[in-house]
């Protein structure tokens, strides 16, 4: 693994004007904003698979939104040394009323590709997604597995240097999960960088070299998977036991 840095995240914090959902453990600053991330710092290395783990609501998706430029941090900085990473999350950027094909164009153009490039890649995207005649139907009629297939195949075929994947590999049938995992491993062999948000400790163990563990918006640990994952698993086990008491 190279230690060339492709992203440097330096002490970032993010607040939302108010919290989206009601949780027992509200974290508010003095002004009443909801602080989703606090003082996060880590680097991403070229060609690595970096896992972002943490229980529900810990701030993982917010972190990916920052990395893809969808939102900006209130404090701290994100330095990108390659093109802006492409965010791949379930149905992000899909218009439910449009067909699968129209959504491929919509997403491709949104990701900065020309219509000509998407025309050239269309067959490959459709082959990979393998959802048959559903590509002509509105996306609102798709199962979550079909949406995941289409989103994954569109983004992966357009071949970004850095790919951000939000939970998408947990969705869909076993065969597609295996196929998408293989494709990611292939991208890594080509020195692409992958940042993966997942609840699956098994997947992290299998494909991530390093892990960032976020808990309640704070960085609990950053390090090699073999060091951080056991701590996380222990923590989750203890949390579960507490709930059962
Ligand atoms: N647009 C928003 N406005 C207000 N609060 C938000 C917004 N988006 C997320 N939040 C809140 O910020 C916190 C972090 O959310 P985020 O989606 O980043 O967590 P997560 O770790 O990805 O969660 P999950 O694993 O459940 O997807 C949550 O408590 C969430 O309710």
DSSP-derived secondary structure for 53-68: E-STTSSHHHHHHHHT
- Is residue 33 one of the residues assigned to a domain? no
Q: How far is the CA of 127 from the centre of ligand 1 (A)?
A: 34
DSSP state of 111: T
Which of helix, strand or coil describes residue 214?
strand
Strand partners, 129: none
Residue 32: pLDDT band by 50, 70, 90 thresholds?
A: low
Task: Tell me the angle at which helices 144-157 and 100-110 cross, rounded to the nearest 10 degrees.
Answer: 40
Residue 42 included in any domain: no
How many structural domains is the chain composed of?
A: 1
What's the CA-to-centroid distance between 57 and ligand 1, angstroms? 5
Instruction: Examine the pLDDT at 235 and tell me if it is beyond 60.
Output: yes
Chain segment 149-179, per-residue pLDDT in tens: 888 888 888 777 888 888 766 667 788 888 8
Structural domain for 185, as ranges: 53-244
Q: The whole model's pTM is what?
A: 0.82
* pLDDT digits 0-9 by tens, 63-84: 998 988 889 999 999 999 877 7
> CATH no. for residue 79?
3.40.50.300
Nearest atom in ligand 1 to 34's CA: 5
Contact 76 CB / ligand 1 (< 6 Å): no
Q: Among 36, 198, 212, which is best to mutate for testing ligand 1, by the most ligand atoms less than 8 A from CB?
A: 36
Report yes or no: 164 and 195 within 8 Å, Cβ to Cβ: yes
What ranges make up the beta strands (E) of the chain? 5-16, 34-45, 49-53, 75-80, 86-89, 162-166, 193-197, 210-215, 218-224
Domain membership of residue 2 (yes or no) is no
Measured from the CB, is residue 36 less than 6 Å from ligand 1?
yes
The whole-angstrom separation of Cα 194 and Cα 152 is 13
């Amino acid at each position: 693994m190279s230690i060339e840095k492709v992203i440097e995240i330096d002490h970032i914090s993010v607040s939302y004007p108010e919290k989206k959902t009601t949780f027992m453990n509200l974290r508010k600053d003095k002004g009443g904003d909801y602080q989703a991330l606090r003082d996060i710092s880590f680097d991403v290395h070229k060609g690595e698979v970096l896992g972002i783990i943490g229980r529900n609501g810990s701030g993982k998706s917010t972190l990916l939104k920052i990395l893809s430029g969808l939102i900006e941090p209130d404090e701290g900085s994100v330095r990108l040394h390659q093109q802006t990473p492409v965010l791949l999350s379930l149905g992000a950027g899909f218009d439910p009323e449009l067909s699968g094909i129209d959504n491929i164009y919509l997403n491709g153009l949104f990701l900065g590709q020309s219509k000509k490039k998407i025309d050239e890649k269309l067959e490959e995207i459709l082959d990979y997604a393998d959802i048959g005649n559903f590509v002509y139907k509105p996306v609102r009629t798709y199962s979550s597995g079909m949406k995941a297939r289409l989103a994954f195949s569109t983004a992966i075929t357009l071949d970004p240097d850095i790919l951000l994947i939000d939970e998408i590999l947990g969705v869909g049938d076993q065969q597609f999960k295996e196929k998408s995992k293989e494709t990611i491993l292939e991208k890594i062999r080509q020195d692409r960088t992958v940042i993966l948000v997942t609840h699956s400790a098994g997947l992290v163990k299998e494909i991530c070299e390093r892990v960032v563990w976020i808990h309640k918006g704070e960085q609990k640990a950053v390090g090699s998977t073999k060091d951080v994952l056991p701590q996380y698993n222990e923590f989750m086990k203890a949390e579960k036991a507490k709930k059962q008491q």
